[in-house]
Amino acid sequence: MTTPPPVINIRAKANQHAVFLILLAGVIFLIAFFLSQYYWRSHRLILIFFYLLTLVISFTGILKRSEPSVSIALTPQRIQYYHRHGHWTLAWQQIQSINTIKETVGLSTIVLPYVGIKLKSLDILAEQISPRLANRLIHEQRPLIRFAVMQNLLLLEEVQLNFTPYSLESGKKIKGPLAAFLYHCQVLQKGLGYHLYLPETSTDRELEDFCQLLKQCQRYAKNYQ
């Protein structure tokens, strides 16, 4: 009996230390509350600062805690990306290339904190991504748009949000945030060469190592068929 290939679950750096931050906020609050009983009148501003610090730390911890426990799942058939606003899924056969994002500026090379995924057809995303996540990624990837404009890889008029219906190859019309996201992916592909971008914060290892892992999984998928 053949043992099925394992699923590789990637846990995001972004949700690390969530419990620690929540506990730290609780400790700071208790200390501030205790000191308030004796020093509120004489050290009011300092104690208010500690209360505000408690709110900031606890809010950060709760945000980290709200992130999915697994950010990326790799199987022999597909790659799945999980976000607190939704998810997308792609079969390895739908991916044309995977690479880190490198741009030459003057005499130096800038490595952006993303792994880029170029698709064989952008149309497949229309069925593979949740509209809520599509809308969120448009905003999260604005730094990529700004970088492309600053480096003259894209014109300012090219990066304006486009909410006109998107026509699939089948003739079907896509509307709303999903259409805007598909146009957004087209623009990014023109400027930086890839349709989808996995941020470094969604991985559990160095960016280059993560990129090599994805390539290995894609090669394995071809032999697994």
| DSSP for residue 67 | S
Contact between residue 172 and residue 140 where contact means Cβ atoms under 8 Å apart: no
Contact 135, 181 (CB under 8 A): yes
User: What is the reported pLDDT for 1?
Assistant: 40
Q: What local confidence, expressed as pLDDT, does residue 183 receive?
A: 95
Can you give the pLDDT at residue 16? Answer: 59
pLDDT digits (tens, 9 = 90+) for 204-222: 888 999 999 999 999 888 7
Mean predicted lDDT score pLDDT of the chain = 85
Per-residue pLDDT, 18: 65
Residue 88 is inside which H or E element, if any? strand 86-91
pLDDT of the residue at 24: 79
**Which of 224, 192, 67, 208 has its CA nearest to residue 117?**
192
Q: Which residues does the chain have with pLDDT short of 50?
A: 1-2, 4
Rg for the chain, CA atoms, rounded? 22
Q: What is the reported pLDDT for 225?
A: 57
Supply the pLDDT for residue 2: 46
- Asked if residues 94 and 120 have their Cβ atoms less than 8 Å apart, the reply is yes
pLDDT attached to residue 196:
95
Q: In whole angstroms, what is the distance from residue 123 CA to residue 117 CA?
A: 14
